[in-house]
Amino acid sequence: MTKLTQRKVEFEWGDKQEAAFQLLKQKLYSALILALPDGSEDFIVYCGASNKGLGAVLMQRENVILYASRQLKIHEKNYTT
């Protein structure tokens, strides 16, 4: 679906895009509830990178505080991981 938001790409909504949208809605509905950070607890950061994007999770014990992810820009794909 991210290709739909890129420049100079014709907007096309077909079965593939609808299926991706429905899957995204389902994942958002079933996502775990985020917790508020507790200043007295240690933080844990999990992060990962691939040739397509970056992702991270900020946690305290078993509680998720924050999810973050994004696709890499064209020039960023040349960076080392």
pLDDT, one tens digit per residue, over 38-78 is 999 999 999 999 989 999 999 999 899 999 999 999 999 88
| 22: amino acid identity, one letter | Q
| 15: amino acid identity, one letter | D
pTM for this model (two decimals): 0.62
As beta bridge partners, residue 69 has 55
Helix (H) or strand (E) holding 27: helix 15-29
- Domains of the chain (ranges plus CATH)? 33-81 (3.10.20.370)
Number of H helices, E strands in the chain: 1, 3
Q: What is the pLDDT of residue 34?
A: 87
Contact 55, 69 (CB under 8 A): yes
Helix (H) or strand (E) holding 47: strand 44-49
Selected residue with higher pLDDT from 33 and 73:
73
Q: What is the pLDDT of residue 8?
A: 83
